[in-house]
Chain A
Amino acid sequence: EPEVTQTPSHQVTQMGQEVILRCVPISNHLYFYWYRQILGQKVEFLVSFYNNEISEKSEIFDDQFSVERPDGSNFTLKIRSTKLEDSAMYFCASSRWTSGTSTDTQYFGPGTRLTVL
């Protein structure tokens, strides 16, 4: 069964450093998402991406964050200058469609645990 993959599984970084989290969505999916989950809290939407553009972003997704699809398979989340409060689990998700059909289920990757020291 196809699945979303993410690398690395755990990233430790110093405050102020840049990090890039990588995701490989399911191959025939067109819509891509990043969510984050701070330890002990709920999963929160960060950004959605379609056709090489951000389609929606949350208040959390400020100028320190960016997303990119550098090639036909990878989808990345970059945090330019990490802060302590960026420590969280970051989940990538993808879906075939975006609305109106039963096939628009979002499938989640296993996550990258980011620890900012």
Chain B
Amino acid sequence: RKEVEQDPGPFNVPEGATVAFNCTYSNSASQSFFWYRQDCRKEPKLLMSVYSSGNEDGRFTAQLNRASQYISLLIRDSKLSDSATYLCVVKETSGGYNKLIFGAGTRLAVHP
């Protein structure tokens, strides 16, 4: 079973649309969760952390359901500049050290 699983997309949406991405993770002991954004052939960049109570940053809302081991990202009022691959990332800690486990990403294409 994949450690972090995402729908690969692509999601093709018009500007102004609302789009939601889902992610599931397999390790129930995972404690920290993130959404990163990756543009083509660029490095992953942190979009936002995901907290148990859900959190919002402008047009972006992240939700976490620990019981279902499910993470989501909602993007409202999509902009052309939102076109990218969105990576669901889980941090695993072992012996006091951590590593990031990445999903394969969901590609978003926003068109005029």
User: With a CB–CB cut-off of 8 A, which chain B residues contact A44?
Assistant: 102
- The count of residues in chain B whose C-beta lies closer than 8 Å to any C-beta of chain A is 23
Q: Chain A nearest CB: distance from B85 CB in Å?
A: 10
Q: Give the distance in Å from the alpha carbon of A41 to the alpha carbon of B6 in the complex.
A: 13
Given the contacts A56-B97, A99-B93, A99-B96, A108 and B44 also touching, CB distance less than 8 Å? yes
Point out the residue from A42, A45, A48, A56 that lies within 8 Å of B103, measured CB to CB: A42
10 tightest A-B CB contacts, nearest first: A108-B43, A55-B97, A43-B102, A42-B104, A45-B99, A42-B102, A99-B93, A99-B98, A110-B43, A56-B97
26 A-B residue pairings within 8 Å (CB atoms): A33-B99, A42-B104, A43-B38, A43-B44, A43-B100, A43-B102, A48-B99, A50-B97, A56-B94, A56-B97, A56-B99, A58-B99, A91-B44, A98-B93, A98-B97, A98-B98, A99-B93, A99-B97, A99-B98, A105-B49, A106-B46, A107-B46, A110-B42, A110-B43, A111-B42, A111-B43
> Residues of A contacting B102 with CB < 8 Å?
35, 42-44
How many residues on chain A are close to B (CB under 8 Å)?
Answer: 28
